[in-house]
Amino acid sequence: MSRAADLNGGARAAAGRLDLSAMQHLTGFLVAMVDAPARRVFQRYVGKPYGLREVEFTLLVLLQANHGAAPKQLAQALNLPAPNVTVLLDKMAERGLVERRRSPSDGRALEVHLTDKGRTLALRVHEVSLTMEDSFMHALSPAERAMLRELLVKLARPAAA
């Protein structure tokens, strides 16, 4: 780096703005930079109004779309260790949102179902989630939004072993 560039970077830092260009080649850095405002949007529209953490919201919506999912399937989808999912399910059951039932086809297997209260909440928060990010994503065209989602889905898929 030249001394002039180094001094210029120092001037920006002194003015309160850092030059982030040295980090912009890192996808993880960019994802982290987007994560903070995305979490604030979640808290504003779902977290605070409905008293849900992100993982609880995700669990509710997953169960709405996947009736009777097994705890193991939920652990894989949430990318959480099975004991953490057990604790999560215990807390959600205490709130009256989910219940565990024996599988009718295999009495040894457990299935997780939404209660009526859980189903109502899942539908409500899913509906909110359909538009809550609109203002956050305003800088992107509809095509760019679709492309971003498609790329993130690709990155989020587990690597083939």
Q: Give me the count of residues in the chain.
A: 161
Q: Report whether pLDDT(101) > 70.
A: yes
Residue 120 has which token pair?
Answer: 């109502």
The tens digit of pLDDT for each residue in 12-53 reads 555 688 999 999 999 999 999 999 999 999 999 999 999 999
Burial class (CB in 10 A: 0-12, 13-18, 19+), 19: middle
Domains defined along the chain, listed by start: 24-156 (1.10.10.10)
**116-129 and 54-65 are packed helices; what angle lies between their axes, rounded to 10 degrees?**
110
- What residues are paired with 100 via a beta bridge? 112
Half-sphere exposure of 68 (CA within 13 A, CB side): 7
Residue 94 has which token pair?
Answer: 């205490």
